[in-house]
A = this chain, B = another copy of it.
Amino acid sequence: MTSRPYDDLPTVRYEGPDSRNPLAYRWYDADRVVLGKTLAEHLRPAVCYWHTFCWGGQDPFALGADVFRRPWSDGDPLAAAQLKLDNAFDVFRVLGLPFWCFHDRDVAPEGATLRASNAMLDAVLERAARKMQDSGVRLLWGTANLFSHPRYMAGAATNPDPEVYAYAAAQVKHALEWTQRLDGANYVLWGGREGYETLLNTDLRRELDQYGRFLAAVVEHKHKIGFRGTILIEPKPQEPTKHQYDYDTATVHGFLQRYGLEGEVKVNLEVNHATLAGHSFEHEVATAAALGLLGSIDANRGDEQLGWDTDQFPNNHVQLVPAMLEIIRHGGLGQGGMNFDAKVRRQSIELTDVLIAHVGGVDTLARAFLCAAALHESGDLEHPRDERYAGWDGALGQAILGGSGLDALADRVHAQDLSPQPRSGRQELLEQLVNRHV
């Protein structure tokens, strides 16, 4: 195998819905203008480094080795990391997508000390900076891996050992500063270990306070160094731990308020994390939008029959239309984007499988977005929704929201012998209206 197998592949182009080329876009016409912006500006798609360049295809549930054999799978770790980086930028070029995302430990190996780890990270990211400059590929977000090393086994910020907290803080400092240096649009905190395995050994209140303090320290440091990106938390209900403290958007909402961080931190919502938490993805998007927390998206999907995070590439555009509609209603993702936190299936061992998966995924997002934009512009859903709540813009609704108490409202009910009648929710009609646009 050549060491740069993607090097001579042509860039994937938009060829339209009738194309039969698996390495062409059928829906993602990056420069097509919809709702006042290009598709690329709406979606801001990103390739994630970990699944695409670091995951070896291991079976999570069996003892066993990597099944993917890549040119950068072996050899001196730092040299392999540099070769991996070259290949990654080859893939970014082939796919023609504008963004990438990384954890610190995706990019460079762990050393014997944090200083050593940092030095290796610096070496690879210096090269990445040049490649970003050359290619125009931008950083949607950076993050630190605070979950793989055994020291984080019982949590990073929420570890019972404050030295682990200190180590994590130092690691985040470095990753956040690199994110700033690479002009990252966001910085993500993923609490993969911020949770518990058993309540029998856990002091929940202590751990929440530790986590609150950690997050506040990250926000303080962001302001100290003048980083202009958004700090994001990525909710996930469990896995690897029994229970994670950033379970879902509503939980994060309560947490941010408790620690005075509302307005400073938003959420990075992953489709498969939403469904593992018992929510539809559109629920998480609508909730984050309503609460002012909508930051960015990890665009993948789960398997509806499996109870863990399968991180599959999206392939059903109809299913994504409601979430896209909520994003459009909210006015878009701002400096967020849509990161493919998705991995090819373990049996998809070929290098081209990685490309094909991204092409299919990008097309699914683009098609869903186009459908949702048409739906939104048609007013087919928007008008009936406004009409449904019209009463709340009237006198009674405004009086209630203005502070009418139980006594006043009871008087009104008795005086008028109020007997409000139910109205149809028209769900099936609305579902049919959606289907006009998909």
What are the residues of chain B within 8 A of A96 when measuring CB–CB?
none
Q: A1 on the interface (CB 8 Å rule)? A: no
Docked complex: A334-390 residues within 8 A CB-CB of B: 344-350, 353, 356-357, 359-360, 363-364, 381, 384-385, 388-389
Judging by beta carbons under 8 Å apart, are B113 and A427 in contact? no
Chain A positions 377 through 419: 1 when the CB is less than 8 Å from some CB of chain B, otherwise 0: 0000100110011011010110011011111011011100111
Judging by beta carbons under 8 Å apart, are A422 and B151 in contact? yes
What are the residues of chain B within 8 A of A160 when measuring CB–CB?
388-389, 391-392, 423
Q: Quick one: which of A192, A276, A315 has the most chain B CB within 10 A? A: A315
What are the residues of chain B within 8 A of A50 when measuring CB–CB?
63
Docked complex: A251-277 residues within 8 A CB-CB of B: 251, 253-255, 257-258, 275-277
- A301 to chain B minimum Cβ distance, whole angstroms, is 10
Judging by beta carbons under 8 Å apart, are A412 and B60 in contact? no
Closest 8 CB pairs of A and B: A307-B307, A254-B254, A347-B425, A170-B410, A64-B148, A357-B428, A253-B254, A60-B60
Known: A154-B422, A163-B418, A316-B318. 18 other contacts (CB 8 A): A160-B391, A160-B392, A163-B396, A167-B418, A170-B414, A200-B322, A200-B431, A201-B425, A209-B401, A210-B401, A242-B305, A248-B250, A253-B258, A307-B307, A315-B431, A315-B432, A348-B427, A359-B432
What are some 17 contacts across the A-B interface (CB < 8 A)?
A26-B435, A61-B240, A62-B192, A64-B147, A151-B422, A153-B346, A166-B412, A167-B413, A169-B404, A198-B430, A238-B305, A243-B305, A275-B304, A315-B432, A348-B426, A348-B427, A348-B428
